[in-house]
Amino acid sequence: MEHKTKKAILVVSFGTTFHRTREKTIDKIEEEIQAAYPEYELYRAWTSKMIIAKLLRRDGIRVPTVTEAVEAMLADGITELVVQPTHIINGVENDQMKADVQEYRDRFLRVVFGNPLLTTTEDSQEAIQAVMAEFPELDTKDALVFMGHGTTHYANTVYAALDYTFKDLGYPHVFLGTVEAYPSLESLMKMVQSFAPRRVLLAPFMVVAGDHAIHDMSGEDQDSWRSQFEKAGFKVECFMKGLGEYAGIRRMYVQHVADALAGDACSQQTI
């Protein structure tokens, strides 16, 4: 007897309390995934319980956790599940998301996971091209400095590797650091000072231009990256645009869904 299937894609994001940037990033990624897979129902989950709690308290908006979303899908009769994170790397949030979903794996006919943005070397190269397409007029005498989030997870090495890859692909004037790990602002400052640019352009290397971009990167506080670069004598400009606003980055997430489905089909064929 054949099982009746009902398919869904769960898009998992860290989340944000800033509605305007969410509309331009997380919402857009979800919309493009839905458009590519209209036969799948689309569900949302966020991994930051602090953000979820703040939205509920401040705005009365309830965003489900991964566990709550999975339970809702089971209640709706979903039998086949694709989980696509909008996370940048395979870090703590992604590991926990997978663990939460795995608790329910036996209750679905099929569960597959799409990769975070930067999983393979090819991902890094494609992401760099997608990002640099947004800066066609960038003068090579200017330094473009990206702020990533950073993590204590070993996957944080992706950020230093990506900084190297920018330069390897012909962008010696592009630098990538993190707000919470390595490469730190201190490391970046030394490299940028050695490059001696005409000006410094700061941009978030995060899906949303949220709290970190507004406060840690471009804020008026003396500890912000903007203030620190200005203190070092540089003319600074800030680009408040999250990665989710870049068309090429959104295409990568849609492709990761396709790769997950294709990989799962291949694995089934070889059994």
Which residues are catalytic, by number? 149
Q: Interior CA angle at 49 toward 47 and 51, to 5°?
A: 95
Kindly give the residue spans of alpha helices, DSSP state H, lying in the chain. 19-24, 26-36, 49-59, 66-75, 92-102, 121-132, 157-168, 185-195, 211, 225-231, 247-270
Sign (positive or negative) of CA dihedral 94, 156, 260, 41: positive
Q: What CA–CA distance (Å, rounded) separates 103 from 67?
A: 9
Q: Give CA 237 to chain center in angstroms.
A: 23
Tally of CB atoms within 10 A around 130? 18
Sign (positive or negative) of CA dihedral 243, 246, 249, 250: positive
**With b meaning 16 or more CB within 10 Å and e meaning fewer, what string describes 73-107?**
beeeebbbbbbbbbbbbbbebbeebbebbeebeee
Beta pairing, strands 236-238 & 143-148: unpaired
Q: Which residues pair with 147 in a beta bridge?
A: 177, 204
Q: Is residue 201 helix, strand or coil? A: strand
Q: Residue 204 is which amino acid?
A: P
